[in-house]
Structure 1
Amino acid sequence: MSLDLTLIWAFLIATAVFLYVVMDGFDLGVGILFPAVRGKADRDLMVNTVAPVWDGNETWLILGGGGLFAVFPLAYATILPALYMPLILMLLALVFRGVAFEMRFRAATLRSQRAWDRSFSWGSYVATFCQGICLGALVQGIRVEGRAYAGGWWDWLTPFSVLTGIALVGGYGLLGACWLIWKTEGELQLRAYRLARQLGFVTLAAIAIVSAAMPILSDAFRARWLSWPNIALAAPVPALVAVLAWRFFVALERRAEVTPFLCALGLFLMSYIGLGISLWPMIVPPAISIWDAATHPSSQAFLLAGAVVLVPMILVYTAYVYWLFRGKVAAGAPGYH
């Protein structure tokens, strides 16, 4: 039996996107939390917790986007025209945020540093919100006629996409707060515990609202989740969300440091799996499946040969960097700039 290369590539790209979401999610979350922390020393410490890893985290965005272009060109050619505006805004915000990240340490005056801090924070908000907008627009469906995008310029902007944008801001903020719990100590850590608790409720509420809205969007979603026997097969996802939520709040009460972050990652994973259940096998819902969008098998095999070498290298390097910079980042310690 021959391998289904399209299925393998769908898994690889889905994995790359998820790794980007959780890895860049917590450092975007640190920027989202900037308005809640006023002191210069605390903000410097927050930035120093992500300084060694933030740019490497975006490798997965490049891998996911590049893989989509190379392996699923029809999906790439359909999704981009539908989402040009939020995608361009997201990329500009990421660039602006990256500049602010570096320039805040080189600011000559406190006033200019505060300006760069605002830029860093707003870049984080805009990038995250636009990612959520893109997710919502994709989930609600893209109009396709004759293998091309047939919608309008503003089809991506709907109440549902705005909802998912707001939800992702809350979710990334949760990841950022849990990351700070893990990597800091003292007053900043205590503040992160409080923020994590608040954002935990926000994130769970967002998961519930988005989950309730999706069956209204599409009969296909309703059939996936609410018809028998699908409801029995999908039931473990909300059950695991409930378990993770309980464990998350217990960990906060016990002042655990690593467990809240792991539980937050688990909530994102369950949400991601839930989206996969809802959309499978469509890569451009409701019309284009992964097999419809895939390039020729020979091209997939050629690209997979490179991915087999490249992806393990990225994983090993990423793991090494996180291991190298493990442990707490102390206040007043030398930074990475």
Structure 2
Amino acid sequence: MASLDLTIVWAGIIGFAVMAYVVMDGFDLGIGILFPTLAVGDERDQAMNSIAPVWDGNETWLVMGGGGLFAAFPLAYAIILPATYPLMIAMLLGLVFRGVAFEFRWRDSGHRPLWDAAFSIGSVVAALAQGITLGAILQGIRVENDAYAGGWLDWLSPFSVLTGVAVVIGYALLGATWLIWKTEGPCQRHARRAAFWLGLATLVALGGVSAATPFLHYDYWRRWFAMPGVLATAQVPLLVAISTATFFWSLRREFELLPFLMALVLFLLGFVGLGISIYPHIVPRTVTIWDAAAPHDSQVFMLVGAVVIIPLILAYTAWAYWVFRGKVGTHGYH
């Protein structure tokens, strides 16, 4: 029983780390996606300054999610990584490009258009790779003898491309709503206009992925539509509808923080929907969290570290966001 409980605890920790990454790095990737639409000069400078204090710390959760998966669920790590190597390489290269561009655009102003392009392209590539990876996992990974048995491009399909595009659009929505909250003047007005259209696009993309997922496997269909479970799962689309209505209402009323919070709620509900679809599998239909879990003693040992480290990460992240609260201008936070 102790082993069962720890396995669920570690599944929760990994899920929390992944969700924290999506929430915290999603909006700054979104700003990179939106970057070509922003006016050269003040608008772009404001957008960059709004994420300057937090963008690199946000990726702490990516490291924790990947490292935690390797340590707590080594079998899942050994299957998922070989199945998605091209996507992981693309994502990391995208993050490197945008990280380098972020620093160099300020110091090498003569080549700023080049660094701006690298920042935007790196953001799109990283977001698209993350979304396609999600689709590849959802559609299923071929496993034989506890090892990946598929080919180099098994991850590529119409469904995985759909999820990739959906994540890019969703991240752009997070970026736009972040700019509504953190900027003012022309940049904020631009972000507000973009958020309206991106909200509609996100709703269409979320609907497309949600409609396609149950047709991938009967297990997904049963989890969402079989009685009596449908009485619980039906609450997710209901909450999506309420959150969407609140989002557009808050845009119309020109609220600043509420649109960002509602965009985060939509991502959270999408994550809940993903959990409903695949639980208790970590590699859908082939490997459960208990099949993939590390030995009990290893889980105990790592949990001691996690109990110390996670609150520290949360504390310094909260402190950073508190210190850099308020509005940002072309030369930094007021």
SS in 2 for 1:278: helix
TM-score normalized with structure 1 length? 0.97
**Alpha-carbon distance change, 181 to 108 in structure 1, aligned in 2, over 3 angstroms:** closer
- The two structures have a TM-score, normalised by structure 2, of 0.98
Kept in 1, the 8 Å contact 2:98–2:120? The answer is: yes
Give the match's secondary structure for 2:328. coil
Residue 211 of structure 2 is matched in structure 1 by 212
- What is the match of residue 221 of structure 2? 222
Matched residue SS, 1:105: helix
Partner of 2:289: 290
Whole-angstrom distance in 2 between the partners of 1:99 and 1:150: 36
**For 2:237 and 2:87, how far apart are their aligned partners in 1?**
30
Partner of 1:71: 72
* Counterparts of residues 117-156 of structure 1 (less than 5 Å): 117-156=116-155
Residue equivalent to 1:6: 7
Q: Distance in 2 between matches of 1:268 and 1:304?
A: 27
Residues 237-280 of structure 1: CA deviation (Å, up to 9, x unaligned): 10000000000000000000000000000000000000000000
Counterparts of 2:285 and 2:155, CA distance in 1: 15
Q: Which runs of 5+ in 1 are unaligned?
A: none
Aligned to 2:323: 324
Q: Which SS does the other structure have where 1:304 is aligned?
A: helix
Q: Secondary structure at the match of 1:185?
A: coil
C-alpha contact 2:26 2:174 (8 A) present in aligned 1: yes
The amino acid of 2:163's aligned partner reads: T
The runs of 5 or more residues in structure 2 that have no matched partner are none
Provide runs of 4+ in structure 1 moved above 6 Å: none
Give the count of matched residue pairs: 333
Contact 2:35/2:120, CA 8 A, preserved across alignment: yes
Matches within 5 A, 1:5-44: 5-44=6-45
Partner of 2:62: 61
**CA–CA distance in 2 between the matches of 1:307 and 1:149?**
29
Residue 108 of structure 1, CA deviation: 3.8
User: Cα distance, 1:335 vs. partner?
Assistant: 7.0
Query: Does the CA contact (< 8 Å) of 2:143 and 2:150 recur in 1?
Result: yes
Partner residue, 1:182: 181
1:221-240 to 2 correspondences below 5 Å: 221-240=220-239
Q: State the superposition RMSD in angstroms.
A: 1.1
CA distance in 2: counterparts of 1:327 and 1:38, whole angstroms = 22
CA–CA separation in structure 2 for the residues paired with 1:127 and 1:42: 23
Matched position secondary structure for 2:84: helix
In the alignment, the residues of structure 2 paired with residue 334 and residue 173 of structure 1 have an alpha-carbon distance, to the nearest angstrom, of 22
Per-residue CA shift, 1:298-337, capped at 9, x if unaligned? Answer: 0000000000000000000000000000000023x3479x
How far apart, in 2, do the equivalents of 1:334 and 1:125 lie? 25
Within 5 Å, which residues of 2 pair with 1:265-280?
265-280=264-279
8 Å Cα contact 2:46/2:332 also seen in 1? no
Q: Distance in 2 between matches of 1:334 and 1:311?
A: 29
Alpha-carbon separation, structure 2, partners of 1:194 and 1:52: 26
